[in-house]
Amino acid sequence: MLLNHRNVTANEMLHLALNSREIHLIQRLRGMKKSYQGHEIQYQKMKNKDVLSWDEMIGHNKGITNDTKRFLMDVLAQPWAPKGGKVIELGCGTAPILRWLCKKKFEGLGVDVSKTAIKMAREQSKGFDIRFKRADVCNLSAEKSRTFDLAVDGHCLHCITQPEDRKRFLKNTFRLLKEGGLFIVMTMCAPVDRKMFSNLFQEQKLIDRIIYAPYDRATEYEGSRTFEGRDYIPTRYVGHCKSILTELRRARFHPRLIRYSHPVAQVPFSNLAVGALARKSFVKHPAS
């Protein structure tokens, strides 16, 4: 390959010489930040504008959307779903989902990487039986095993873009659930309507199932890449819905209720919602 060296940045040179696993390792050794730490900036903006939740910021209502509510109600109505007990929400943001669940006989723990999100969640959850903790869902070693009846991913898993971190997230969740506990996952996925994506997100790139956003200080972040001389950080993972189900099964979850929805107007991504049981032994269910 012929290169015009004057136009090649140090980051590009690194990528040309090494494979992605090696790059990831080097970036980790350099003590780089994880791109999901950038959510803090988003919550500071929300707080300054009195926006109460992530959904409100992206133009939905303040509480949880009807779509989310419908899926939660469907899953919790199943005979194998817990009817109360302890729930952990991984990536709770300002906790609209947890508050909804805690009106239904659950007591909650909300975990989020953003300090401001946790502060806003505490302010909005006075009077609810919910504790909050600032932590990275890929590193929950301080939490006791087999504590929860229910774990909820309300669109956090798709923020975890690196394969090793996703494995850690799922492994932690499995460990924290009681035997037979329920994991509810709601996540963006592929197929993606590429034309709609590039019309709506002209600045962003979708490469190898990862969405990259341009960022000036991208080289401080793990997984950062340079495309056409501009630096980008990974922000979302949109793997195919089938491969996300495979990730869950590998982490010993047994999907029992699966809902998949196609891209719709203004939303170029598919969505996968799963109710899966944490079972150590393999049980073949007719529905999985």
Judge residue 53's burial from the number of C-beta atoms within 10 Å of its C-beta, 0-12 exposed, 13-18 middle, 19 or more buried: buried
Answer for which of 46, 112, 116, 190 binds ligand SAM (CB under 6 A) is: 112
CA triplet 163, 263, 34: central angle to 5 degrees?
A: 25
C-alpha–C-alpha distance, residues 112 and 249, integer Å: 25
Answer for which of 71, 91, 101, 106 binds ligand SAM (CB under 6 A) is: 91
Binding residues for ligand SAM, rule CB under 6 A, total: 24
Longest dimension (CA), the chain: 65
CB of 94 to ligand SAM, least distance (A): 6
Q: Are 270 and 239 in contact (CB under 8 A)?
A: no
Q: Would you count residue 53 as binding ligand SAM (CB under 6 A)?
A: yes
C-alpha–C-alpha distance, residues 85 and 82, integer Å: 7
Q: Are 191 and 269 in contact (CB under 8 A)?
A: no
The smaller minimum CB distance to ligand SAM, of residues 236 and 254, is found at 236
CA neighbor of 229 nearest in space, from 1, 3, 32, 17: 3
CB of 279 to ligand SAM, least distance (A): 25
Q: Would you count residue 39 as binding ligand SAM (CB under 6 A)?
A: yes
The smaller minimum CB distance to ligand SAM, of residues 136 and 231, is found at 136
* CA 30 remoteness from chain centre: 24
Q: Kindly identify the residues of this chain, within the stretch 242-261, that bind ligand SAM according to CB under 6 A.
A: none
Phi first, then psi, for residue 26 (nearest 5°) are: -65, -45
Q: Are 193 and 268 in contact (CB under 8 A)?
A: yes
Answer for which of 99, 155, 205, 256 binds ligand SAM (CB under 6 A) is: 155
Q: Would you count residue 140 as binding ligand SAM (CB under 6 A)?
A: no
The smaller minimum CB distance to ligand SAM, of residues 114 and 125, is found at 114
Q: Would you count residue 137 as binding ligand SAM (CB under 6 A)?
A: yes
CA distances from 85 to 105, 227, 234 (A): 7, 48, 36
The smaller minimum CB distance to ligand SAM, of residues 120 and 241, is found at 120
C-alpha–C-alpha distance, residues 33 and 224, integer Å: 10
The smaller minimum CB distance to ligand SAM, of residues 61 and 78, is found at 61
Answer for which of 97, 130, 210, 248 binds ligand SAM (CB under 6 A) is: 97
Q: Would you count residue 157 as binding ligand SAM (CB under 6 A)?
A: no
CB of 53 to ligand SAM, least distance (A): 5
The smaller minimum CB distance to ligand SAM, of residues 138 and 274, is found at 138
SS3 167: helix
The site for ligand SAM (CB under 6 A) is made up of 36, 39, 53-55, 91-94, 96-97, 111-114, 117, 136-138, 154-156, 159-160
